[in-house]
């Protein structure tokens, strides 16, 4: 059994979706504890990838592929965990991530999603051109801790503020940390609109979240 977890861990490190899928299915078929498969297999693997990236030994495509493989494994194992009525074990925090209304640029947002996944966060990517309301509805639905909003254009940055305004208007401002990012944004801008966090790059966003949630 231990060997299966090791193999899962390695398949995540290799970023091999297919093998992760096969092994996750095998765990289900053999009635292996799915929480253990996630905790001792998938998460151990993604932690290694995160460390290797930090030390400069692997590159972004390695992280992105491992994060994709992680999604495949969780996609199979999570329903099983729910079916058995078990608790999954806590992710560091949950983040709803998307590109704001009027903006369809998503490469930065995708990188950020992968980095959060690699750091042990549960990521809900809601896509691009997302209205403030839809960010918040998703965050409520999944019980998110963080709403992360991306904008690449000076003309769409204002939509980041709309999310904060929406939260205030609906008495939800304290429920979520709002992170903003993207090329034209800055720390000063984030302060100006009352965001909880701003980072220039994906790894800095993770570090910022760690400083808020790692101890949780």
Partner 1 sequence: MMLPKYNVLTQEQVEIIHNESIKILEEVGMEFDYEPALEVLKAQGQKVEGHRVHFTREFIEAKVKLAPSQFTLHARNPEHNLVCGGDSIIYMPGYGAPFIQLADGTRRKSTMQDFDNFVKLTGVSKNMHMTGGTMAEPQDIPDEIRHLKMIYSSIKNSDKCFMGSTEGWERAEDSIEMVSLLFGGKDVIKEKPVLISLINSLTPLKYDERMLGALMAYAEAGQAVVIASLVMAGSTGPAALVGTLALQNSEVLAGIALAQCINPGTPVVYGSASALSDMRTGGLSIGSPECALFISASAQIARFYGIPSRAGGGLTDAKIVDAQAGYESMMTLMAASLTGINFVLHAAGILQYFMAISYEKFMMDDEMAGMLLHYMKGFNFDEDGLAFDTIAKVGPGGHFLAQKHTRKNHKKEFRTPQLSDRSAYEAWSKEGLDTNQKAHKQWQAVLADYVPPALDPSIDNKLLEFIAQRSEK
Which residues in this chain contact partner 1 in the complex, by CB under 8 A?
53, 56, 59-61, 104-105, 107-108, 111, 154-155, 158, 183-184, 186, 188-189, 201-203
Cα–chain center distance at 142:
12
Q: What's the closest the beta carbon of residue 135 comes to partner 1, in angstroms?
A: 21
Q: Name the minimum Å distance from CB 106 to partner 1.
A: 9
CB of 75 or CB of 201, closer to partner 1: 201
User: Closest CB to partner 1 among 125 and 203?
Assistant: 203
**Nearer of residues 89 and 184 to partner 1, judged by Cβ:** 184
**E-strand spans in the chain?**
94-100, 122-130, 146-150, 177-181, 197-198
Gyration radius of the chain's alpha carbons:
18
As measured in angstroms, the least distance from the Cβ of 201 to partner 1 is 6
Q: Which residues pair with 181 in a beta bridge?
A: 150
Q: Report CA 195 to chain centroid distance, whole Å.
A: 19
Range 22-27 contact pairs with CB under 8 angstroms and sequence separation of 24 or more: 23/73, 24/72, 24/73, 24/76, 24/77, 25/76, 27/77
Q: How far is the CB of 155 from partner 1 (least distance, A)?
A: 5
Helices and strands, counts by H and E, the chain: 10, 5
Q: Which is nearer to partner 1, 133 or 200 (CB)?
A: 200
Least CB distance to partner 1 at residue 56 (A): 7
Nearer to partner 1, 108 or 120 (CB): 108
């Amino acid at each position: 059994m231990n060997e299966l977890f090791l193999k899962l861990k390695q398949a995540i490190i290799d970023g091999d979706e297919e093998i992760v899928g096969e092994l996750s299915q095998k765990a289900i078929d053999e009635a292996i504890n799915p929480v253990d498969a996630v905790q001792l297999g998938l998460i151990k693997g993604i932690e290694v990838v995160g460390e290797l990236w930090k030390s400069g030994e692997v590159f972004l495509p390695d992280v992105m592929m491992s994060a994709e493989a992680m999604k495949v494994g969780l996609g199979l194992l999570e329903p099983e965990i729910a079916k058995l009525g078990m608790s999954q074990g806590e992710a560091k925090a949950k983040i709803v991530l998307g590109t704001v209304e009027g903006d369809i640029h998503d490469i930065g947002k995708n990188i950020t999603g992968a980095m959060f996944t690699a750091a042990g966060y549960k990521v809900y990517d809601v896509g691009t051109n997302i209205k403030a309301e839809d960010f918040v509805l998703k965050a409520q639905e999944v019980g998110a801790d963080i709403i992360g909003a991306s904008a690449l254009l000076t003309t769409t940055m204002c939509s980041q503020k709309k999310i904060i305004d929406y939260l205030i208007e609906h008495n939800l401002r304290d429920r979520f940390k709002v992170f903003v990012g993207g090329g034209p944004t800055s720390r000063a801008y984030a302060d100006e609109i009352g965001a909880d966090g701003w980072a220039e790059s994906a790894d800095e966003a993770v570090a910022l979240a760690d400083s808020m949630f790692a101890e949780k």
